[in-house]
């Protein structure tokens, strides 16, 4: 059999960062091939290269469907039969299901005119082929995420994809939805379509995959038959760690309470949330995407207001009208979305860092003092050991880990009582992640209270004194890592035996 895709010697450098180093990758027809690795290992970069979005560094070889290609544009990749289902689905929310599915059949092909009559037929055919059904006239934005996922799959099949890439397709799905998705994947492989499944949820990977390619820090660790792999082995390959890290043992709930939340609710976001965080305590919140974690954090940060319930900070009831009030009361929020909310990517490192504490650089006469600015920036760069060229460089020139350090530093500079870290390791490579968590533990030991939000169960498990499991906007249960096993928590979140 000829491989659908055969890549060799793929490297990609962004600025000074080597995202991929000499990767070889091969997928056979009808195979489910998993691309496994932690955040920032280069999985997404590899997909973007295969789909023509990125151009690899010189020296790369592509053989697609037995044909060699020098370069690849997205349109070319699509024509050859490479279909990608991006993490955000890239659907048109205002258009109907049928239009979204059929769009490929009338974009860029021979006919310059859209034949509305055909759209539904095309969509219907694909749905039948996959064994799924939709209301084809519904607007896509009204549908739940799992359905959008299926629509995205239908869309790539319209253009006769021979290989389908799915980037973290289960990140926001519940257990039964995941099951359904895996069934669809099996239908595809039965038709000899190859599926490349990108996920960091290992149980799933082992269940569905024929083979697994593991990436770590931009390098290929190896290709393995899924049947020969175990969870423990795969974890070891992905992280390169054999030792099991220790959990945070201390019980700090007897310390004075810094944050207390009593039965707060906000329609469509979260419901009846109560919990507290003591001084120096790290409380983790985990759960599927869309569980309401970030929405809850935004209310604690004053960006939105709970409709019911009460928030207490240091024992005093607070009602923040804006995040300015939350900040001045000592709440800091490191956003999950570093690219568009956490940092101002185009601006310099120093300007990002002092954006929260500009008042501290104002000297008499109301003018900004460059000297004070430099002192504050210098202090935090050193404190968190951020690696950089010059502080006047744009923050986008830094690696993910160093950007995150600046994002944390700009909030530490406000001397907060409560630090909310929302998905602090997204887009941070493994080596740097440990650095971030070291900072978290140091801060907690100095008495800072931290709310750690993450969908990586192991992150909250190994770094929190207590863990709250959130789903559908509610806190389901509290876990104490020192007194429970990580699999207990994972089972609660993903459901048993996927």
343 or 448: whose CB is closer to other proteins?
343
199 or 351: whose CB is closer to other proteins?
351
Please list the residues that pair with 294 across neighbouring strands: none
Angle made by CA atoms 81, 83, 88, in degrees to the nearest 5? 170
Distance of closest approach, residue 418 Cβ to other proteins, in angstroms: 14
Report the DSSP pairing between strands 474-479 and 466-471: antiparallel
Enumerate helices (H) and strands (E) in the chain, giving the number of each: 16, 20
Distance of closest approach, residue 341 Cβ to other proteins, in angstroms: 5
Residues in contact with other proteins by CB under 8 A are 303, 322-324, 327, 333, 335, 340-347, 351, 355-356, 358-359, 362, 366-368, 410, 414
Distance of closest approach, residue 362 Cβ to other proteins, in angstroms: 7
Distance of closest approach, residue 324 Cβ to other proteins, in angstroms: 5
Distance of closest approach, residue 342 Cβ to other proteins, in angstroms: 7
Interacting residues of 51 by C-beta distance below 8 A, sequence separation 6+: 72, 74, 77, 78, 82, 84, 165
437: tokens are: 């968590």
Distance of closest approach, residue 13 Cβ to other proteins, in angstroms: 12
Distance of closest approach, residue 412 Cβ to other proteins, in angstroms: 13
244 or 392: whose CB is closer to other proteins?
392
- What is the distance in angstroms between the CA of the first residue and the CA of the last residue of the chain? 31
130 or 341: whose CB is closer to other proteins?
341
Burial of 344 (0-12, 13-18, 19+ CB in 10 A): middle
Interacting residues of 313 by C-beta distance below 8 A, sequence separation 6+: 258, 259, 329, 330, 331, 417, 418
CA-nearest of 16, 22, 27, 39 to 82 is 27
8 or 347: whose CB is closer to other proteins?
347
Angle made by CA atoms 301, 313, 336, in degrees to the nearest 5? 25
Is residue 26 a contact partner of residue 3, using CB atoms and an 8 Å limit?
Answer: yes
255 or 369: whose CB is closer to other proteins?
369
């Amino acid at each position: 059999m000829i491989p659908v895709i055969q890549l060799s010697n793929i490297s990609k450098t962004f600025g000074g960062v080597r995202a991929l180093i000499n990767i070889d990758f091969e997928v056979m027809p009808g195979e489910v091939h998993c691309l496994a690795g932690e955040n920032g290992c280069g999985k997404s970069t590899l997909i973007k290269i295969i789909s023509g979005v990125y151009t690899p560094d010189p020296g790369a070889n592509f053989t697609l469907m037995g044909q060699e290609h020098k370069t690849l544009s997205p349109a070319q990749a699509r024509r050859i039969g490479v279909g990608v289902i991006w993490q955000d689905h890239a659907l048109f929310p205002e258009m109907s299901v049928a239009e979204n599915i059929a769009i490929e059949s009338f974009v860029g092909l021979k006919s310059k005119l859209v034949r509305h009559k055909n759209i539904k037929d095309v969509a219907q055919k694909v749905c039948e082929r996959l064994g799924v059904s939709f209301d084809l006239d519904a607007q896509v934005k009204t549908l739940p995420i799992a359905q959008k996922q299926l629509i995205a799959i239908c869309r790539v099949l319209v253009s006769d994809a021979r290989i389908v890439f799915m980037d973290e397709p289960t990140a926001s799905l519940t257990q039964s939805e995941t099951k359904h998705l895996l069934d669809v994947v099996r239908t595809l492989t039965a038709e000899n379509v190859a599926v490349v499944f990108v996920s960091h949820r290992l149980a799933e990977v082992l269940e569905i995959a024929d083979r697994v390619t593991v990436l770590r820090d931009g390098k290929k660790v190896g290709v393995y038959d899924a049947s020969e792999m175990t969870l423990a082995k795969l974890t070891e390959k992905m992280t390169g760690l054999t030792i099991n890290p220790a959990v945070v043992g201390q019980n700090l709930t007897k310390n004075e309470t810094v944050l207390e939340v009593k039965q707060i609710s906000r329609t469509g976001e979260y419901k009846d949330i109560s919990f507290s965080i003591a001084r120096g305590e790290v409380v983790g919140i985990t759960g599927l995407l869309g569980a309401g974690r970030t929405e809850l954090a935004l209310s604690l940060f004053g960006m939105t207001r709970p409709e019911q319930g009460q928030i207490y900070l240091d024992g005093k009831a607070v009602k923040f009208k804006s995040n300015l009030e939350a900040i001045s009361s000592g709440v800091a929020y490191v956003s999950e979305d570093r690219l568009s909310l956490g940092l101002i990517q185009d601006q310099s490192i120093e300007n990002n860092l002092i954006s929260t504490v500009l008042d501290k650089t104002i000297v008499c006469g109301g003018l900004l003092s460059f000297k004070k600015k430099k002192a504050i920036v210098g202090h935090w760069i050193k404190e968190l050991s951020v690696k950089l060229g010059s502080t006047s460089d744009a923050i986008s020139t830094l690696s993910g880990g160093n950007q995150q350090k600046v994002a944390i530093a700009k909030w530490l500079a406000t001397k907060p009582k409560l630090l909310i870290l929302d998905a602090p390791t997204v887009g941070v490579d493994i080596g740097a992640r440990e650095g971030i968590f070291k900072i978290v533990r140091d801060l907690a030991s100095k008495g800072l209270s931290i709310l750690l939000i993450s969908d990586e169960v192991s992150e909250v498990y190994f770094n929190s004194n207590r863990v709250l499991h959130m789903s559908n906007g509610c806190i389901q249960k509290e876990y104490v890592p020192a007194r429970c096993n990580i699999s207990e928590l994972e089972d609660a979140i993903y459901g048993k035996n996927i």
